Amino acid sequence: MSDTDVAATGGIPAGLDAARPDPGDGGPDMIQLLTPEGVRIPNSDYDRYLEDLTPDDLRGLYRDLVLVRRLDAEGWSLQRQGELGLWPSLLGQEAAQVGSGRALKPQDHCFPTYREHGVAWCRGVDPLSPLLMWRGVTNGGWDPAEHNFHLYTIVIGSQALHATGYAMGVTKDGRVGTGDPERDTAVIAYFGDGASSQGDVNEAFVFAASYNAPLVFFCQNNQWAISEPVSRQTRIPLYQRARGFGFPGVRVDGNDVLACLALTRHNLDEARSGNGPLFIEAFTYRMGAHTTADDPTKYRFSAEVERWKHRDPILRYKTWLAREGHADSAYFEQVDKEADEFAAELRQRCVTTPDPGGETMWEHVYSQPHPVMEAEKAAYDDYIASFEEEN
């Protein structure tokens, strides 16, 4: 599109570049089991990973999608009301997170970014936990071993190496390729298109390949790293990067919960069997801003967002569920009602959480005594006590 053409279309504000290459529909290699219109596409490779799903399971995925979107909306609103310092929205990425999150077995371990509220939900992490982190009450604060869900990692891509080392540990523990489905363990590392440029992520690819780590790299390509389009990060589709590191990569429709579930199940099975690492690129879209502090109108066109609205992960799945007779309007209304109650309770728990006292700052810096730090804490206590004496 030349500048003249742009002028002719009359729409581009000064200072914005011409349209970036359209992220498009993911191309012919993208695996999709459910079209944006809610039409099921049979797939001889992956349908078997969905065969065991009962109507209850299928409805459960819908419930997950709706509750996760509602959790996200609460986070956004609470920030706008001054109750959270910041909130990174997952809007648009619900299917990628629920599909992959529900593919995990209890013994599998997850390494999230800071946006994986949907995966946290699937793992059973209290949804209040991420809210309290973004409220500034904690820096995470949950026990990763409780739900096999690691702490959120804010520095982009660092967790890919942690996941790799953890997976190397799984191998050392003899939990790979034994054939026992309750014993064999996989690890999943979440990251985004922006993180694919980080050294740590590329080092993780090298280490994971070198040690055959039972690891699935799950990249949610949401097309934008704050203001930078994926074309700034890569010349080739991200899933093709895996080949250069010596392991398989696949692109899945990240807005298709069934495809995300099926492909992640397959890849996790492969990892548990000793065929790791593997790479999944979930092709999706960040419908909202990067965080509550971001303004996407400065760097992308609303037409692009509008196009992706037609690929909404919840709408297509709801359409399919209804058409197949797995759920009816009464069910959908019931889930909406549950979401309202869920949100109200969550909001209440969030806003009534008190700020931690200053004296608790020193509590978990070290696990063993550190006299220099303890002296500082004692001086702080004396300082606080001096006000009480004055009064």
Partner 1 sequence: MALEKLTLGKALTAGLRAAMDRDPKVVLIGEDIGKLGGVFRITEGLQKDFGEDRVIDSPLAESGIVGTAVGMALRGYRPVCEIQFDGFVFPAFDQIVSQVAKLHARSAGTVKMPMVIRIPFGGGIGSPEHHSESPEAYFAHTAGLRVVSCSNPEDAYWMIQQAIECDDPVIFCEPKRRYHDRAEFELGGEAPRELFSANVVREGEDVTLLAYGPTIRTCLEAANAAAEEGTAIEVIDLRTLSPLDTETILASARKTGRVVITHEAQSFLGMGSEIAAMLHEELFYDLEAPVVRVGGANIPYPPSRMEEHFLPDLDRILDGVDRALAY
Task: Say whether 290 is catalytic.
Answer: yes
Phi-psi region of 108 (alpha: psi -120 to 50; beta: other; left: phi over 0): beta
Please report whether residue 364 would count as binding partner 1 according to CB under 8 A: yes
- Pairwise CA distance, residues 366 & 303, whole Å: 51
Q: Least separation, in Å, of the C-beta of 292 and partner 1?
A: 22
Which entry of 20, 63, 299, 349 is annotated as an active-site residue?
299
- Lay out the site mask for partner 1 across 123-152 (x = CB under 8 A, - = otherwise): ---------------xxxxxxxxx---xx-
Q: Please count the residues of this chain forming the interface with partner 1, following the rule CB under 8 A.
A: 45
Binding residue for partner 1, selected from 375, 378, 384, 385, defined by CB under 8 A: 375
CB burial readout 214-231, b (16+ within 10 A) else e: bbbbbbbbbbbbeeebbe
- Pairwise CA distance, residues 180 & 264, whole Å: 19
Instruction: Tally Cβ neighbours within 10 Å of residue 15.
Output: 7
- Pairwise CA distance, residues 87 & 79, whole Å: 6
CA neighbor of 177 nearest in space, from 95, 270, 115: 270
Q: Least separation, in Å, of the C-beta of 149 and partner 1?
A: 12
Binding residue for partner 1, selected from 39, 226, 373, 385, defined by CB under 8 A: 373
Stretch of 199-207, 227-235, 284-292, 319-327 lying at the interface with partner 1 (CB under 8 A):
199-207
Q: Is 229 helix (H, G, I), strand (E, B) or coil?
A: strand
Please report whether residue 8 would count as binding partner 1 according to CB under 8 A: no
Stretch of 205-213, 236-244, 299-307, 380-388 lying at the interface with partner 1 (CB under 8 A):
205-213
Task: Say whether 46 is catalytic.
Answer: no
As given in the structure block, the two tokens for residue 215 are: 């690891």
Task: Say whether 285 is catalytic.
Answer: no
Place of tokens 């959120």: 152
Q: Which is nearer to partner 1, 171 or 255 (CB)?
A: 171
Check: CB of residue 222 under 8 Å from CB of residue 205. Answer: no
Q: Least separation, in Å, of the C-beta of 231 and partner 1?
A: 26
Q: Give residue 48's identity as a one-letter amino acid code.
A: R
- Pairwise CA distance, residues 189 & 59, whole Å: 27
Q: Least separation, in Å, of the C-beta of 314 and partner 1?
A: 32
Please report whether residue 165 would count as binding partner 1 according to CB under 8 A: yes
Return residues touching partner 1 (CB under 8 A): 138-146, 150-151, 153, 155, 158, 160-170, 172-173, 199-200, 203-204, 206-207, 210, 363-368, 370-373, 375
Q: Which residues are catalytic?
A: 286, 290, 299
